[in-house]
Amino acid sequence: MEKRVAGKAGARQAPSLRELEILQAMIATRKTVAAAQMLGISQPAVSRALATLEAHVGRPLFLREGGRLVPTGDAFALEAEAQPVFDALQRLAGWPGQTAMASVLRIAAATTLAQFVLPPVLAHFRIQEPDVVANVEIGTSTSVIALVADRAADIGLVDVPVPHIGVRNEVFREAVAHVVMPDDHPLAAHAVIAPRDLADEPLIAAARRFPVRFEADRAFADAGVAPRLVAEGATATFMAELVRQRVGLALLNPFPLTLGGMQGLAARRFAPRIVYRTSLLFPATGPVVPAARRFADLLRAWQPEDGLTTPIR
């Protein structure tokens, strides 16, 4: 009898739905105050629930680093186990007689992709998913990768290599470097442009922090050509606008400028070949948010043919 009583006393209690909601909010925000605001409760209530939840599972779920609470592997594992519960509740909310629950899809995108890719895709997504609110963060590729790795974004869009263990990437577009110039420029008559063709041309290059800049510099060095560099840029839209203002010619990724940013400009393939890959990013751990997967599927299906770049579906 004593053993049976001791066994009952030592048994761990299952987490409550509220505790799991708070865990999910904490993983998304990393701060108790922000999680409390998200859920409409007090900050002490969040702290108490986290302490109770950690007591239930018998392990720490968050570690404090630099004023933020960083989720442990156990926190991500518990969230993954709880996700089917939240998915089921959301489906039940759509039953007859129930008010549909609005959900939020958190998207992070690099500037040029946000400008040319997101608006048309979100227009289609809005029709298919009227109850999903798209929360879009626009920033540098580095910040997009960090947001997805921290699970502060459900999906990301970047056009740079992604050497980060916190994310997994799915390439959805591939392109090679093109020289962008005013459409009346003499070099527009060329099908392919080599470094020697640019020897006397003012050139706008990608910022030095991008790996493709190293590839471009090597191409010119191998050809024995010293480029006449007049400007550097961090986004394709900025570089293209400098070209439009006749500051110089630009060597860049034509996607997604080909979706609406090439007015008055021409693009000709650069040789040697420099490859760009545009990717969707998802957190490396835990389940993919269902709305994020549906958004990714819609993006792959939507991709238009532009004659310069290759959709990967």
Strand order across the 275-283 sheet: 132-139, 103-110, 155-158, 275-283, 167-176, 310-311
Rounded Cα distance between 166 and 19, Å, is 25
Residues 11-40: pLDDT tens digits?
A: 567 788 888 888 888 887 788 888 887 777
For residue 119, say if its preceding peptide bond is cis, omega within 30 degrees of 0. Answer: no
Residues 250-285: pLDDT tens digits?
A: 999 999 998 888 999 999 999 999 999 999 999 887
Question: Do β-strands 178-182 and 310-311 pair in parallel, antiparallel, or remain unpaired?
Answer: unpaired
Tell me the whole-structure pTM to 2 decimals. 0.69
Report which of 228, 232, 230, 250 is spatially closest to residue 240, judged by C-alpha positions.
250
pLDDT of the residue at 227: 94
Residues 175-232: pLDDT tens digits?
A: 999 999 999 999 999 999 999 999 999 999 999 988 889 999 999 999 999 999 999 9
**Complete domains list, the chain, with CATH:** 2-92 (1.10.10.10), 103-172+277-311 (3.40.190.10), 178-273 (3.40.190.10)
Residue 96 — very low, low, confident or very high, per pLDDT cuts 50/70/90? low
Burial class (CB in 10 A: 0-12, 13-18, 19+), 307: exposed
